[in-house]
A and B are shown apart, each in its own frame.
Chain A
């Protein structure tokens, strides 16, 4: 039926948008450092908890105003930018000239530190139990087709708009600013970039901060969509977003967006038109298929290893 198809399409795009935003962070860090930042999903988790804390502090009256929503997003993104800076400065930078595996293991360590550390009871935010994210966008029907056969909600439209805005801003930043040019130069060859007078350390730190802020934005959108947040949420979303980044071609900004949307849609239609038990098997099978046909991902280039 056409209405089911439309509903699945809406679900798939909504899920894919979140994957895409998180995948952007993976891809950017991989682009400049050739490091798979496994802590990325957990930075997103911290972002949702920060947003949760700010929304709680604002209270039900103010959190759903335009300024309240902006404050929740900005506080979470700023907080995560600082967290990203700290992680880069103290965990990754000291290992930059060590074998790549060392940094990868450290990334897994940071991931566990965040996801399990947040389950300990200290301060007002952390704690193991899941909690409901406040409704900072009061749900309202934006478009109803037929006898409620297809319903599009206001927050779905707002989320999509925010996600697209964030992606366009990132695209502009990478391709149209001095910082973006420096970032691409570092990504290309950071030693040569340093010789050309590019402050490599600062560029890498800024890239981390940017990626972490995006993760926080994605986290808030995720929390608006799926309402429940808990400290282990980053592991699951992080894994899916990583797959999305690889499908699109890791290191490639438009690739991450396409990969995320594709993964969201594939998962959705597998459940809708075959069996939900096949969801993850097909999603990961899709990854293997893409890598078999295009080893660099859909948008990636396979570069010969420099010797």
Chain B
């Protein structure tokens, strides 16, 4: 009896440790086998009337809302694509794996999508560290990959099969440096960054360089470790330097807590950040302490453009919340992929890669997307001010 109980508990533990979320299983192929099974001599990713693509996202773990928003955005895009007749008469289906917000799991998921499920192309991730891990698997296998929201330049430098539909860190760091110096007229700023995050490091480096070039002074720099929720020591050290603003290119999970502790310690400097702040959770975690601070982002839900307003209305109808930028980028990534598949002369990975690379002036909800020779999207960024339960559009800053 004891052994039976122990066995049950252990197997539960193992099942949970190895858990993955499959939100959308492929329909069984007519032959009875799973759609993903390598069809003898067939093209990868095509099974009868279905095109199978892959998605890797942080559905659990520390940045779970990123993955869930992306998931919703991609889901909405695919519903629209399939309702409009699919791609070349075929239905597009997505196989989703959860990477638990960890790079090693992201790499495993990518390998599994490539070798086992034989998907045509891969969408994801949000965190740059995870996208880099995936790209290192996708590039050698020559599987096209579109990251929806990884802004670190290293992601697409991995190879010619790796793309993104968002702008890159140097631009985002420049946007906030320019905004802080020209719009807010700041001369003294401090930086607080996540030590282990490629994203945070990248943004902080560019911000420091650009802000100094514009004539401002970076008076101090502190770091924190992912998982920590006590930032009082760093904030106390920064307070001593009396900066006008603090640039914190971190994720919303940390920002809310940092904002509360900054207020508690009597730090009066404005907080500034990047698109990692963008989540409805920011308001819950930060409360009133996070209001009045600024971050750069990919899109603003206040934008009156009818294309954007239609997307927001559809998203609200489907998922019951206002889409954040990651949902919008997930939607754009799936739409760009479908557009490329439609334009490609044939549905093989090489042809699709070329078609993605040729994307010009694609009307996305996060702006007009043109992919440059480095496979990055060039488009303007917006600066948003955090308000009570929502953000307010402040400025658009062009490349």
> Interface residues of B toward A: which range?
35 or more
- The distance in angstroms between the C-alpha atoms of A225 and B231, with both chains bound, is 11
B156 within 8 Å of A (CB atoms): no
A88 within 8 Å of B (CB atoms): no
Residues of B98-114 contacting chain A, CB below 8 A? 100
B60 within 8 Å of A (CB atoms): yes
**Distance of B316 from chain A, by nearest CB (Å):** 19
Q: A119-B60, A151-B264 are in contact. Are A112 and B16 (CB under 8 A)?
A: yes
Query: Given the complex, which residues of A lie within 8 Å of B16, measured CB to CB?
Result: 112-113, 116-117, 120
Query: Given the complex, which residues of B lie within 8 Å of A280, measured CB to CB?
Result: 225
B65 within 8 Å of A (CB atoms): yes
The contact of A276 among B14, B223, B239, by CB within 8 Å, is B223
**Chain A residues touching B, majority SS:** helix
Q: A94-B2, A94-B5 are in contact. Are A132 and B256 (CB under 8 A)?
A: yes
**Distance of B116 from chain A, by nearest CB (Å):** 22
Residues of A261-289 contacting chain B, CB below 8 A? 267-268, 271-272, 275-277, 279-280
A1 within 8 Å of B (CB atoms): yes
> Interface residues of A toward B: which range?
35 or more
A109 touching B266 by the CB < 8 A rule?
A: no
Q: A228-B256, A235-B227, A271-B222 are in contact. Are A128 and B13 (CB under 8 A)?
A: no
**Chain B residues touching A, majority SS:** helix
Query: Given the complex, which residues of B lie within 8 Å of A220, measured CB to CB?
Result: none
A67 within 8 Å of B (CB atoms): no
- The distance in angstroms between the C-alpha atoms of A139 and B260, with both chains bound, is 11
A72 within 8 Å of B (CB atoms): no
A91 touching B6 by the CB < 8 A rule?
A: yes
**Distance of A301 from chain B, by nearest CB (Å):** 32
- The distance in angstroms between the C-alpha atoms of A232 and B61, with both chains bound, is 7
B342 within 8 Å of A (CB atoms): no
Of the listed stretches A7-15, A28-36, A179-187, A252-260, chain B binds: A7-15
B284 touching A131 by the CB < 8 A rule?
A: yes
Instruction: Report the 6 A-B pairs with minimum CB-CB distance, sorted nearest first.
Output: A128-B64, A271-B233, A226-B229, A236-B227, A119-B60, A109-B13
B contact residues vs A (CB 8 Å cutoff): 2-3, 5-6, 9-10, 12-14, 16-17, 19, 59-62, 64-65, 68, 100, 195, 222-225, 227-230, 232-234, 236-237, 239-240, 253, 256-257, 260-261, 264-266, 281, 284-285, 287
A contact residues vs B (CB 8 Å cutoff): 1, 4, 7-8, 11-12, 14-15, 90-91, 93-95, 106, 109-110, 112-113, 116-117, 119-120, 128-132, 139, 148-149, 151, 153, 222, 225-228, 230, 232-233, 235-236, 267-268, 271-272, 275-277, 279-280
